[in-house]
């Protein structure tokens, strides 16, 4: 509910997941989650229980009660992980995916609303959800398309600094190795062939 209710600011307007999510078959977001077997309704989860999820693991494409809110079957192999063979009831991981509309950038602003929401999502997960998960001794992994782009930019900057330093060290090593040893400091650049 926290992620579905998350709002981000983009150029003075409010952006929600519903504004940017992929809606292929209806007006509902194509969220991929085990909770889709209950149509994202906590009351249905409480009423039907885990047996309904187990039933849907086997009948996800043929049983109408297992369809998602956007009227599509949810393959359990895309929302569960760490299970042996096809024994989904022994899964050790839940996977939740929020597909977001992604446009080909021509002006550089087509995906700005989605990127603003994704940054708010990353902050929410880091500041609120991750501490709750860690308190329960669980593991949480998450990413977003903008976080991948940000990480690549960060790595590129870190790599550039490393490359510049290595070139300086290499230049100094070659200069002093190939040059003569000066008797005076002021003659250093002449004898090192710089």
For the stretch 127-153, pLDDT in tens is 999 999 999 998 888 887 765 666 666
Q: Is the pLDDT of residue 189 over 60?
A: no
The verdict on pTM exceeding 0.85 is no
Residue 188 and residue 172 in contact, taking contact as beta carbons nearer than 8 Å = no
Q: Write the CB contacts of 179 (distance below 8 Å, at least 6 apart in sequence).
A: 191, 192, 193, 194
Which has more pLDDT, 57 or 169? 57
Residue 107 and residue 94 in contact, taking contact as beta carbons nearer than 8 Å = no
pLDDT band with cut points at 50, 70 and 90 for residue 180 = low
Residue 144 and residue 122 in contact, taking contact as beta carbons nearer than 8 Å = yes
Q: Which residue, 81, 45, 83, is CA-closest to 65?
A: 45
Would you state the pLDDT for residue 64?
Answer: 93
pLDDT single digits (tens) 43-102: 999 999 999 999 999 999 999 999 999 999 999 999 999 999 989 999 999 999 999 887
Q: Is the pLDDT of residue 9 over 80?
A: yes
């Amino acid at each position: 509910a926290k992620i579905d209710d998350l709002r981000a600011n983009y150029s003075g307007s409010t952006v929600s997941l519903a504004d940017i999510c992929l809606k292929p078959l209806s007006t509902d977001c194509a969220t991929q989650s085990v909770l889709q077997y209950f149509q994202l309704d906590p009351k249905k989860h409480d009423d039907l229980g885990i047996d309904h999820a187990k039933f849907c693991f086997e009948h996800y494409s043929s049983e109408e009660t297992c369809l998602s809110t956007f009227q599509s079957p949810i393959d359990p192999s895309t929302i569960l992980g760490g299970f042996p063979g096809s024994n989904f009831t022994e899964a050790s991981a839940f996977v939740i995916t929020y597909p977001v509309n992604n446009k080909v950038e021509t002006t550089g602003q087509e995906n700005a609303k989605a990127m603003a929401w994704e940054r708010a999502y990353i902050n929410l997960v880091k500041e609120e959800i991750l501490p709750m998960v860690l308190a329960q001794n669980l593991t949480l992994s998450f990413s977003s398309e903008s976080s991948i782009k940000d990480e690549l930019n960060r790595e590129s900057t870190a790599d550039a600094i490393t490359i510049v330093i290595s070139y300086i060290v290499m230049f100094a090593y070659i200069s002093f190795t190939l040059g003569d040893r000066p008797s005076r400091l002021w003659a250093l650049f002449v004898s090192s062939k710089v």
